[in-house]
């Protein structure tokens, strides 16, 4: 059995287990586009039909009926939890929400202008020093680390938002779900039920997306048998780039620059004429609408109606229509998440950290899978530089 990898035929059984020398390497594929780098049971994407599922469960069913905690369990264990299993997971997540006091003290030393993603990366790396079995990658420890990291991400993000604004961090709730707890720690007051529901759905939608850049980075690090905290630090650094997780922040900056719906078409036309990238459109995998954008579009509109402010949704809708008509591009998950988060009162530069608060569940699921069937990830590069260059002694160089 073989599988097509770009322009390279690679035997399926050889992909993970055969020595590199046994795999024919005839040409490179820029950005590894459409190259199959691993077998995985976690996430299935059908780019032509615009379908996404976690362990076979359709993303629309999860968004309409599930919760982030239930989705995280599915990603980690491959099946939906029983009621007892779900309650046990919720209890474990609540138990790991609090930050170790030395980490809070470390956060207080950081310059207030430090970017939230940089803080998250630094705190996760430092967290390993306060976890006694941080370097244990055994089966039982893997799930313990996944739960701890998933629980503590929102606390780091919310605590930094308050500290940089001269406020004291709010202790996490002893009850309440993941989304409600994050909004409570961020604001210091309990969120309304609908806003918490919107964030819960957004967390489900962002939880995993196959071998995206940050997930691949996590698996590459885990493939060396580095600990989970090191692998997650790699993933955070990768997610921070504007071509990955940082795109939703750039989308909101664009909406703010446009300012008013009637200026939309002129602005986007000018951006395209200047060959500027309009963030939030197109996807390496999807050739139709990103199924996650479907839910975020609806929630953006509903939040606008509830807040009596449809300006950001209207601008977004007009950009979408223009891009479809003139470029044939559909919005991806980043596009409507920008206005959705903004209408929830979330600062723009927290968009990517919130993405991370969701994706940590998928990252850890992939790391667990990598550990279980590990082979060091070591691709090849096709050399295109000069050859047979003679060495010239330093005194003879011009």
129-144 per-position pLDDT tens digit: 999 999 999 999 999 9
- What per-residue confidence (pLDDT) applies to 28? 66
pLDDT of residue 220: 97
CA distance 21 to 308: 63
pLDDT(7) > 70: no
Q: Alpha carbon of 336 to those of 173, 294, 342, 344, 351: distances in Å?
A: 29, 9, 10, 13, 11
Res 12: pLDDT = 36
Interatomic CA distance for residues 52 and 71, integer angstroms: 14
In this prediction, residues 95-117 reach a mean pLDDT of 97
> Residues 299-325: what's their mean pLDDT?
97
Q: What is the pLDDT of residues 18-38, one digit of tens each?
A: 444 444 445 666 767 667 778
Q: Which residues pair with 45 in a beta bridge?
A: 52
CATH number corresponding to 247-343:
1.10.230.10
Domain ranges of the chain: 79-238, 247-343
- 3-state DSSP call for residue 357? helix
pTM: 0.89
The pLDDT mean for the chain works out to 91
How far CA 92 is from CA of 73, 111, 148, 338, 368, in Å, comes to 12, 33, 8, 31, 18
Mean pLDDT of 324-336: 92
pLDDT tens string 354-398? 999 999 999 999 999 999 999 999 988 889 999 999 999 999 998
Q: Which CATH number fits domain 79-238: 3.40.30.10, 3.40.50.2000, 3.40.50.10860, 1.10.580.10?
A: 1.10.580.10
Say what the pLDDT of residue 20 is: 41
Tokens of 91: 């209890």
- Indicate if the pLDDT at residue 10 is higher than 70: no
Annotated catalytic residues are 244, 283, 334
The answer to whether 79-238 and 247-343 have equal CATH topology is no
Whole-number pLDDT of residue 273: 95
């Amino acid at each position: 059995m073989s599988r097509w990898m770009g322009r390279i035929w690679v035997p399926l059984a050889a992909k993970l287990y055969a020595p590199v020398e046994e795999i024919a390497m005839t040409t490179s594929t820029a950005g590894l586009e459409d190259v199959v780098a691993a077998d995985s049971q976690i996430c299935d994407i059908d780019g032509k039909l615009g379908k996404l599922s976690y362990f076979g469960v359709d993303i629309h069913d999860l968004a309409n009926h599930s919760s982030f905690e239930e989705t995280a369990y599915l990603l980690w264990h491959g099946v939906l939890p029983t009621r007892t299993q779900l309650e046990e997971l919720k209890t474990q997540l609540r138990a790991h929400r609090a930050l170790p006091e030395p980490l809070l003290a470390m956060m207080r030393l950081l310059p207030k202008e430090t970017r939230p993603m940089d803080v998250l990366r630094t705190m996760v790396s430092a967290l390993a020093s306060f976890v006694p079995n941080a370097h244990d990658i055994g089966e039982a420890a893997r799930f313990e680390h996944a739960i701890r990291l998933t629980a503590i991400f929102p606390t780091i993000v919310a605590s930094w938002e308050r500290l940089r604004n001269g406020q004291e961090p709010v202790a996490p709730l002893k009850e309440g779900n993941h989304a409600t707890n994050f909004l409570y720690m961020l604001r210091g007051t309990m969120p309304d039920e609908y806003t918490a529901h919107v964030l819960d759905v957004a967390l489900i939608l962002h939880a995993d997306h196959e071998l995206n850049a940050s997930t691949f980075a996590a698996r590459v690090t885990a493939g060396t048998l580095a600990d989970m905290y090191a692998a997650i630090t790699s993933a955070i650094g990768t997610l921070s780039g504007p071509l990955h997780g940082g795109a939703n922040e750039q989308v909101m900056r664009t909406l703010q620059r446009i300012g008013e719906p009637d200026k939309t078409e002129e602005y986007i036309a000018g951006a395209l004429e200047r060959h500027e990238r309009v963030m939030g459109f197109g996807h390496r995998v999807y050739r139709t609408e990103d199924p996650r954008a479907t839910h975020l579009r609806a929630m953006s509109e509903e939040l606008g109606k509830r807040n009596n402010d449809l300006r950001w949704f209207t601008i977004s809708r007009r950009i979408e229509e223009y891009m479809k008509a003139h470029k044939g591009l559909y919005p991806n998950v980043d596009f409507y998440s920008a206005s959705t988060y903004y209408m929830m009162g979330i600062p723009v530069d927290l968009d990517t950290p919130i993405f991370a608060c969701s994706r940590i569940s998928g990252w850890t699921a992939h790391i667990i899978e990598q550990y279980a069937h590990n082979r060091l990830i070591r691709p090849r590069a096709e050399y295109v530089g000069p050859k047979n260059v003679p060495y010239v002694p330093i005194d003879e160089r011009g």
